């Protein structure tokens, strides 16, 4: 139900003229659908519809094509190949980093879909399957790391800025405390003539007491 509403929403987005998309009212209604996409072409907005339709087709293939596992892998490969061509041609996202990450994801999925055929009964070499399995894990791990790298970078950047602000605030607080602290005269800083005068006055007081 949710994916159906998503597809209908994507179709409505394609019907809306491009001139209305930058409007403030339209952003409130449909803004989340094209927030990260370029709005200068219908083909870039087609990404949302492609995303939804692809999920539906993959679900149908996984449920109704269980007896022909080889065809499942072939159809998955063609889906990924079409997505890679679309991303390379139109680059729908505004930021280059997002386009590159999405292209890398499709490349990893395409590569893993090719590797899935080696785990079938057509290959009897167990050691080869074991080695390919480790390579499969490495590809999936690299895909996860690449997708998390922007989040880790932003988190490290915010942490660095927080530490710098905390250190600056601590330094300013320390300077303010030093300025508000009352002056203390060290005896080392007292001139010699002051000390001589104090000795002379003490001697005079002692003589008077004796008298």
Give the tens place of pLDDT for each residue, 117-137.
888 777 778 888 888 899 999
Q: What is the pLDDT of residues 152-195, one digit of tens each?
A: 888 898 899 989 988 888 888 777 666 655 544 444 444 444 44
For residue 192 the two structure tokens come to 């010699």
With tokens 């680059």, the residue in question is 91
Q: What number of CA atoms fall less than 13 Å from residue 92's CA on the CB side?
A: 22
With tokens 């004796």, the residue in question is 210
Q: Please tell me the distance from the alpha carbon of residue 14 to that of residue 91, in angstroms, as a whole number.
A: 17
Contact 120, 74 (CB under 8 A): no
Q: Please tell me the distance from the alpha carbon of residue 208 to that of residue 211, in angstroms, as a whole number.
A: 5
pLDDT band at 207, cuts 50/70/90?
low
Contact 42, 14 (CB under 8 A): yes
DSSP state of 93: B
Q: What are residue 93's DSSP bridge partners?
A: 37
């Amino acid at each position: 139900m949710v994916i159906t509403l998503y597809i209908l929403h994507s179709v409505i987005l394609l019907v809306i003229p491009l001139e209305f998309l930058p409007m403030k009212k339209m952003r409130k209604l449909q803004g989340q659908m094209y927030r990260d996409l370029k709005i200068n072409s219908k083909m870039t907005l087609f990404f949302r519809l492609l995303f939804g339709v692809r999920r539906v087709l993959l679900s149908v293939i996984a449920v109704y094509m269980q007896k022909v596992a080889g065809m499942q892998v072939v159809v998955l490969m063609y889906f990924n190949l079409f997505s890679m061509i679309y991303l390379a041609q139109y680059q729908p996202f505004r930021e280059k980093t997002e386009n590159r990450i999405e292209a890398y994801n499709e490349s990893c999925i395409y590569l893993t879909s090719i590797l899935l055929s080696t785990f079938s009964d057509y290959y009897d070499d167990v050691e080869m399957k074991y080695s390919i399995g480790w390579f499969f894990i490495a590809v999936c791990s690299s895909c996860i790391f690449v997708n998390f790298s922007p989040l880790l970078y932003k988190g490290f950047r915010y942490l660095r800025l927080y530490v710098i602000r905390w250190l600056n605030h601590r330094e300013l607080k320390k300077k303010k405390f030093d300025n508000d602290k009352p002056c203390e005269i060290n005896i080392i800083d007292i001139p010699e003539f002051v000390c001589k005068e104090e000795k002379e006055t003490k001697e005079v007081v002692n003589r008077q007491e004796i008298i």
